[in-house]
Structure 1
Amino acid sequence: MALPAIPPPGRSSDGERVVKKVIVPFMLSLSVAACAGQVPAETAQASQDFHPDQRPLARTLVYECGDMEFIARLGPGEMAIWLEDRYLVLPQVRAGSGSKYQEADVVFWSKGDEALLEVAGRTYRDCRLNPARAPWEDARRRGVDFRAVGNEPGWHLEIREDDSVLFVGDYGASKLRFTDISRETGREQVFYTASHGADTLRATVVESECNDSMSGESFPFAVMVQINDRSYQGCGRSLDHPWE
């Protein structure tokens, strides 16, 4: 009786199948081990050239560079910028340090509190943020026609003619939006009334010089607001939309 042939070590009756099962995983493990921890030089350099921008996303920023100013709004990997004569979106580009954005002849660079803007070869240095103006410019770009502010507690009112009135009170803790509004015009004053559910609003805008009780800033309108049984006094101004 013939005994079945016994394949030599490392082989099977199917030829080199066992060898492949052993060698291929072994070679793959060597390849993975050799590549672990190694990043191509060009990839490492590119990651170092793009520095994370620490400024807040989706928030309107006002920069003042001496006698020149511009408005900016930051998005992921890009920055929208409003200049006096145009609107641009600047993509982020590589920089040796800080964060840099560029489109055509407009370049913006910032690092910490430092910032500069270059337009058509002219450089504006020492650009500084003006946080006090940012809410007004943000409201302007959201289509608000009139904005008023007051203190103790902090509040603000935003009016979009023929659309809605937004009242934000108690330092931002409470918000009421009214869409069913009516407007009456008197001598050097305008009255707004609105209601929403159990809440009612009456706002009086008077054309009279008004100074903010905390900042001392001067405004062209005095504003009185009554929300239900609470009254507020403050100052306001109209907002134009020159890009429309």
Structure 2
Amino acid sequence: MTFFTPLRLAAVGACLMALTGCASTSSPADESGTMTVNSSAPLLPSVLFAGNAEQYQGWHCQPADQNLVTATNTNDLRLWSLHGAWQLPQAVVANGARYQDGGISFWNRGNQAMVETPRGQLQCTLGEERNVLTRSERPGVMFFGHGNEPGWVVALAHDSPTLTLELNYGEERIELPYMVSVMDNEAGRVVLENARIEPFFRVRIEAGACFDNMSGFPFPARVTLSYGGEQFSGCGQGIAP
């Protein structure tokens, strides 16, 4: 997994927006626009991963009434909003911890944080925290997503373009090959579809702050699953080796 590329800013009030990504081994389409299938799994955008961080932190912020997700690495902070993500290098500060890239900065001390953008400031309070999923917990999985009511899971294999779906709280379990129809590394967006005519499915993964609607736990990606004529929404994260 590579690190985030340099990010450009988009000032939209107190909201945060950013774009990032990394190269993929999969080609979403050939010159005719037809989707192609590779025998190896694609490299997902690095914005979907926590880096070497061990935890995700969820932050509740005002006055925009929005929630943020962070993951603290050795020399930088990964920050996700509802609209995208940043990688902020560590900066020198007398008290607490400060991370900054251009006009965007994140400063925190204990359970309080302040986020500054060219258009405003957010005052944040630490909410839920959770440990980053690892390969020892999810062997062979490079991306894990899930949702609730009814419970569902999608897991992408790390060594081949196949995914496993578990539906209705695990009562139905299927393994299917997929094609990459969209791989937007700059925006951290991936769309996967069935490599066979039936059954149709689509998995849309987008970088951005996501919170489990039952536990409140923070994640760096929103996941939308379309299958069996239904659409399911949930959260997910990349899992590094």
Q: Say whether the fold is shared (TM-score over 0.5).
A: no
TM-score bucket (shorter structure): 0.3 to 0.5
| Larger CA Rg, structure 1 vs 2 | 1
- Which structure ranks higher in relative contact order (CA pairs < 8 Å, sequence separation ≥ 6)? 2
Q: TM-score, normalised by structure 1?
A: 0.41
Q: TM-score, normalised by structure 2?
A: 0.41
- The structure with the greater share of residues assigned to helix is 1
